[in-house]
Amino acid sequence: MNFKEGEILYLNKPLHWTSFALVNKVRYHISRKLGVKKIKVGHAGTLDPLATGVVIICTGKATKRIEEFQYHTKEYIATLKLGATTPSFDLEKDIDKIYPTEHITRDLVEETLQKFVGTIQQIPPAFSACKVEGKRAYEIARKGEEVTLKPKTLVIDEIELLNYHLPEIKIRVVCSKGTYIRALARDIGEALHSGAHLTSLTRTRIGNVYLKDCISAEDFENWLEQQNIDIIND
Q: What is the distance between the alpha carbons of residues 14 and 49, in angstroms, rounded to a whole number?
A: 8
Helices within 18-172 (DSSP H only): 19-34, 66-70, 106-114, 137-141
Say if CB 131 and CB 152 are below 8 A apart.
no
Q: How far apart are CA 130 and CA 12, in angstroms?
A: 24
Which residues make beta-bridge pairs with 173?
76, 159
> What pLDDT is stored for residue 125 in this prediction?
78
DSSP 126: S
- Burial of 67-104, coded b for 16+ CB within 10 Å and e otherwise, reads eebbebebbbbbbbbbbbbbbbbbebeeeeeebebeeb
- Contact status, residue 76 vs residue 172, Cβ threshold 8 Å: yes
Q: Say what the pLDDT of residue 43 is.
A: 95
Go through the chain and tell me how many residues it has. 234
What is the per-residue pLDDT for 35? 85
Catalytic-labelled residue, pool 48, 94, 187, 230:
48
* CA distances from residue 196 to 2, 89, 99, 110, 182 in whole angstroms, order as listed: 46, 7, 9, 15, 9
Which tens digits make up the pLDDT trace of 32-58? 988 888 899 999 988 999 999 999 999
| 4: region left, alpha or beta (phi > 0 left; psi from -120 to 50 alpha) | alpha
Known active-site residue 48: yes
Question: pLDDT value at position 135?
Answer: 72
- In tens digits, the chain (234 residues) has pLDDT values of 898 889 999 999 999 999 999 999 999 999 998 888 889 999 998 899 999 999 999 999 999 999 999 999 999 999 999 999 999 899 999 999 999 999 999 999 999 999 999 999 998 877 666 766 667 666 666 666 677 778 899 999 999 999 999 999 999 999 999 899 999 999 999 999 999 999 999 999 999 999 999 999 999 999 999 988 877 655
pTM for this prediction:
0.91
**pLDDT on residue 233:** 57
> Could you give the CA distance from residue 13 to residue 202 in angstroms, rounded to a whole number?
9
